[in-house]
Amino acid sequence: MPNSEKYDKILDALQELLDRRSIQSISVSDIAKQAGIGKGSIYYYFPSKDAILDALVTRNYEKPIQIAKNLARQTDVSPFTRMAMLFQACRNSSAEFLRLGSASPEEPIYSRASSANPHERAYFHQKYISHLIAELKPVLTEIIQQGIQNGEIHFDYPAALAEIVLIILSVKIDNTLVPSSPENIEETIRGLICLLEKGTENPPGSLNFLTAF
């Protein structure tokens, strides 16, 4: 059975290295040295450096995403309220992502070194977006399907709707891929809510409360 302490030590080592160096310059040997373990031990836990990075992304964003999943499964709450909870999870995850160059001990994998490199920032951003959508899409799809079954939502493609919503939210709220003003972001979110109202056959303005989350 894998040693969880050693597993976390490997992730901690990569995090520490990212505080000083770019991801491209870091090798598996560097990670092993920083972790104080043999290089062969790394491959017992991870097949590649990319796999270590993916695990680090997962760990860094685990808390807000798990909170969203737990809240979203409260089936006694209306589907739209639970969708709003997922909106908040996107904001929380984005806040984690955007804490660049911070001296905080909770600093994310973006460090002073990586944030100075726009190519590295874009690379991490892709990792973040992929992880966020992959984790939240099944949850949001389930919520939409429950709303359809209850007659509160009228839409034929719940998984597609979930993906569209998450792509828009993760890109606009994160605000690094296509930088926008606060006014533009708010306008886009309100446009998304308008489309949700029309697509799910809810009256105009009925879902405006989603912007409060």
Report the pLDDT value the prediction gives residue 174, as an integer from 0 to 100.
67
pLDDT (0 to 100) of residue 3: 67
Alpha helices in 101-157 (DSSP H): 112-115, 118-149
What tens digit of pLDDT does each residue of 62-106 get? 877 888 888 778 888 888 888 888 887 777 776 665 554 444 444
Taking the C-alpha atoms of residue 56 and residue 58, their distance in angstroms, rounded to an integer, is 5
Q: CB-based contacts of 74: which residues, under 8 Å, 6+ apart?
A: 82
Distance CA 33, CA 76 (A): 50
How many CB atoms neighbour CB 128 within 10 A? 24
- Cα 87 to Cα 9: distance, rounded to the nearest angstrom: 32
The C-alpha atoms of residue 210 and residue 121 are separated, in whole angstroms, by: 30
- Tell me the H-state helices in 48-78: 49-60, 62-72
129-154 average pLDDT score: 89
pLDDT tens for each residue of 27-58: 999 999 999 999 999 999 999 999 999 998 88
Please provide the size of the chain in residues: 213
Tell me how far apart the alpha carbons of residues 92 and 15 are, in angstroms, rounded to a whole number.
Answer: 20
Judge whether 89 and 65 are in contact, CB under 8 Å.
Answer: yes
Mean pLDDT of the chain: 81
